[in-house]
Chains A and B, each alone.
Chain A
Amino acid sequence: MGRYIIQRFLWMFLVLFVISMITFAMMHAVPGGPFTQEKALPPEIIANLEKRYHLDEPYWKQYLLYIDNVMVPHVSSDAAPEMTDEALIEINLPGGRYLRWINFGPSYSSRSRTVNDIFREQLPVSIQLGVISMAIAITIGLPLGVISALKQNTIWDFLGMSVAIFGVSMPVVAMGPILIWIFGVALKWLPPTGWGAKPPFTLFFIPNTIGSWDFWKHTLMPAFAVGTGYSAIIARLTRASLLQVIHEDYIRTARAKGLSERIVTTRHALRNALIPVVTILGPMFAGVLTGLFVVEQVFGIPGMGKYFITSITNRDYPVIMGAILMYAFFLVISNVFVDITYAWLDPRIRYD
């Protein structure tokens, strides 16, 4: 198992490395730099700006510089560094020295902010929304699938699967506006836009207002818009997998032993039935992420997705690079965790 985990992590680093290369290459292959504007700047100013951001260096040097800034921890003695050298993780070392790690550089389009600033303010919001969406998908999807399977071919099964097929047919792009109109405009139960949490956050993303209705009233609609589709997928998969397991011999054995139906279902059937469900959690995480791009736009939520989309049109290299690496990191690490959980649940996986 240890070897397997190490192998997965090495694989993860390789993927992230290749992604950073591709992103870097593509962003620089685009003609015109970030300072190309409708009203052209004087060449001296462009030269100065490019010097300031090291854009006059050869590409390989720019890339190495970037990787160095992001990956390698730097130790220095100055208390307040230049704004662009400010890092995401800053630790005080004894002797008045500081360890600074993960610096995504400045943002070209908003000169007063660094990419780290954007991450610090916007990323927690996206994480809050993402986590709640995933939670909604699982808490609706699992019971729906289990009930449908246990009551196969009854009205409950039919109802559950009808809900599920409607769920998979409603992409976030369609679900968002429909929810806003029903609950935000027509019924006026929930506010159609805005977000109810402000920094500081505990543990980087848990809002201090988590117990208040003010937070939840802004969260419910967007989280449902993202989560419903995935709950439907989980429900369908859980049902199919549970139906398959229920007809296995060891379930009959468990029943023959005289175990109660509840124990048979929870201990024997469900545990094995959930193995395939775990595998889709990785891809689902990726889907939730793209869903966030949409809901953040539709619901006017100050999250990372909105910034990412605008940074692409602005050609703000550091923001694009940083956002893609950050997203890729979350996606790849969630895949690694899913792989490991899967291998742990089903030891046969490790030997294939």
Chain B
Amino acid sequence: MTNSEMLIPEANDQQKERGLWMDALYRLAQNKASLIGGGMVVLLVLMAIFANYIAPYSFSEQDRQLTDAVPQWVTVIFPTIKPYAEVSDKFPIGADYVGRDMLSRLIYGARISLVVAFVGAMISLFIGTIYGLTSGFFGGRVDNLMMRFVDIMYAFPSMLMIILMMAFFRSSFAESEPGTLAYVMNSIDQRFGGMLFIFIGIGITAWMGTARLARGQVLSLREQEFTLAAKALGASNSRIIFKHLLPNVLGPLMIRVTLSIPGYISTEAFLSFIGLGVNAPTPSWGSMISDGAVAIRTYPHQAIFPAIALSFTMFAFNFLGDGLRDALDPRLRGTQ
């Protein structure tokens, strides 16, 4: 066999692979919804990364003289605010109940929502995919055992579990002795403004759907000729899983994970709303809404602006997810 002959199949292979992804990218670019959604997400990410430079004030800086103050234009949108609020143009969209700049807190709050979104997606993708691939690939007893475990976990009301675990973490780990694992986790959590436990809470329930999907895909793929061929050539199990099966299941998994991101964002907002989320004074849209909702009749801006920011972000991810699905898998169009 000459050199050139050996090169041909490889070259073809590469071309085909690039073709597939280029094609997906092309279709993604054709899809207006995903472009708009993607653009909104990029803007939000930039805003979160450069929050230090964009935000006019620090998120915890207080002006005691100007609690609940609003600028002129806010009194135009919310006319009912006039009898209560002091008018001051110091804060671009007004101040909260202890005189912190709402806009700066909104900008920093994007960090929490986005970090939770990406970490939730990553946990769901990594753990779920590996779990599902292993289960589906080995099949038989292993599959049965692993999937029963998922079934049991699935039967639990996940939100109740998250609430319970958060309450447990928050009260039990805070009082642990130095030197224990609980203490270390608690100090890491403190360092990150209370986000570690949110990741754990969301991570515990997020991977199961992905695992089921990955397993289902692998079950059908492993019966196909190319898997058999790889096996016949003596490829190791991990090589088959990661080189042959993974690229084939990645498309549907990506779609699913993107579509589940708004769920993680709203879960974090919910947890922060009921007081089990981030620690004060770290701003989260959920806790801002919770603080603002108390005074919704007098100072509506304190709840409405974070509510709009939250919906805007979820809207962006929903749009992106929809577009991604239409572009990568036209058969699934309109489902979920």
Q: Does A304 contact B (CB under 8 A)?
A: no
A185 touches B314 (CB 8 A): no
Contact with A along B261-284 (1 / 0, CB 8 A): 010011001100111100000000
Are A173 and B273 closer than 8 Å at their CB atoms? yes
Partner of A236, one of B160, B167, B175, B334: B334
* Contact between A177 and B307, CB atoms less than 8 A apart: yes
Interface size on A, residues (CB 8 A): 55
Separation in Å of the B247 CB from the closest CB of chain A?
27
- The distance from the CB of B121 to the nearest CB of chain A, in whole angstroms, is 17
Within 8 A of B (CB), among A309-352: 309, 312-313, 315, 324, 327-328, 331-332, 335
State whether the Cβ of A286 lies closer than 8 Å to any Cβ in chain B. yes
Contact residue among A22, A239, A312 (Cβ-Cβ distance under 8 Å from B167): A312
Question: Cβ of B147 < 8 Å from any Cβ of A?
Answer: no
The smallest beta-carbon distance between B275 and chain A, in angstroms, is 7
Chain B hits for A298, CB < 8 A: 293, 296
**Contact residues in A for B270 (Cβ distance below 8 Å):** 171-173, 290, 293-294
Cβ proximity bits B296-324 to A, threshold 8 Å, 1 near / 0 not: 11001001101110110011001100100
- B261: min CB distance to chain A, Å: 12
Contact among B155, B167, B168, B311 with A335 in the assembled complex (CB-CB below 8 Å): B155
**Are B274 and A297 within 8 A (Cβ)?**
yes
Contacts of B158 in A (CB 8 A): 286
Set of chain B residues within 8 Å of A327, measured between Cβ atoms: 157, 160
**A30-B172, A294-B270, A309-B274 known; A289-B334 Cβ under 8 A:** no
List the B side residues contacting A331 at CB < 8 Å: 157, 160
Query: How many residues of B sit at the interface, in one of the four size bands?
Result: 35 or more
Chain B 57-71 interface 0/1 with A at a Cβ cutoff of 8 Å (1 = within): 000000000000000
Q: Is A243 an interface residue (CB 8 A)?
A: yes
Point out the residues of chain A lying under 8 angstroms from B318, CB to CB: 165, 168-169
In the complex where A174-B289, A298-B293 touch, is A293 in contact with B274 (Cβ < 8 A)? yes
Question: CB distance B304 to A178 under 8 Å?
Answer: yes
Q: Tell me the bound Cα distance from A290 to B306 in angstroms.
A: 20
Task: Determine whether A46 belongs to the interface, using a CB cutoff of 8 Å to chain B.
Answer: no
Cα–Cα distance between A27 and B168 once the two chains are bound (Å)? 7
| A-side contacts of B79, CB under 8 Å | 186
Are the CB atoms of A174 and B307 closer together than 8 Å? yes
Contacts of A79 in B (CB 8 A): none
B80 within 8 A of A: yes
| Interface of chain B, main secondary structure | helix
* A188 nearest in chain B by CB position: B80
A240 to B333, CA, bound (A): 7
Q: A286-B159, A294-B273, A328-B160 are in contact. Are A181 and B171 (CB under 8 A)?
A: no
Do residues A181 and B296 form an inter-chain contact, with CB atoms below 8 A? yes
Interface set, chain A 280-296, CB cutoff 8 A to B:
286-287, 289-290, 293-294
- Known A-B contacts A177-B304, A180-B296, A297-B293; the reply to A171 vs B315 at CB < 8 A is no
Contact A236 B274, CB 8 Å, known A181-B304, A286-B158? no
Q: For residues 173 through 229 of chain A, which have their beta carbon under 8 Å from a beta carbon of chain B? A: 173-178, 180-181, 184-186, 192
Complex Cα spacing A164 to B176, Å = 47
Cα–Cα distance between A181 and B296 once the two chains are bound (Å): 7
A256 within 8 Å of B by Cβ? Answer: no
A172 to B64, CA, bound (A): 32
- Decide if A173 touches B307 in the complex (CB within 8 Å): yes
Contact A169 B315 (CB under 8 A): yes
Q: Does A125 contact B (CB under 8 A)?
A: no
Distance A172 CA – B79 CA, assembled complex (angstroms)? 25
Query: Residue A278 at the B interface, CB < 8 A?
Result: no
> In whole angstroms, how far apart are the Cα atoms of A236 and B168 in the complex?
37
Q: Determine the distance from Cα of A18 to Cα of B154 in the docked complex, in whole angstroms.
A: 13
Q: Given A185-B297, A286-B157: A312 and B314 within 8 A (CB)? A: no
Contact A30 B171 (CB under 8 A): yes
Chain B 163-177 near chain A by CB (<8 Å), digits 1 or 0: 111011001100110
Q: Mark A4-29, 1 if CB is under 8 A from B, else 0.
A: 00000001000100110011001101
Instruction: List 13 other contacts, CB 8 Å, given A27-B168, A168-B318, A239-B334.
Output: A19-B156, A26-B168, A29-B168, A165-B322, A166-B315, A170-B314, A240-B335, A240-B336, A315-B171, A327-B157, A328-B156, A331-B160, A332-B157
> Can you show 21 pairs from A to B with CB atoms below 8 A apart?
A15-B156, A22-B161, A26-B165, A26-B168, A27-B168, A31-B175, A168-B314, A168-B318, A171-B310, A173-B289, A173-B310, A174-B310, A181-B296, A240-B333, A240-B334, A289-B159, A290-B159, A298-B296, A309-B274, A309-B275, A335-B155
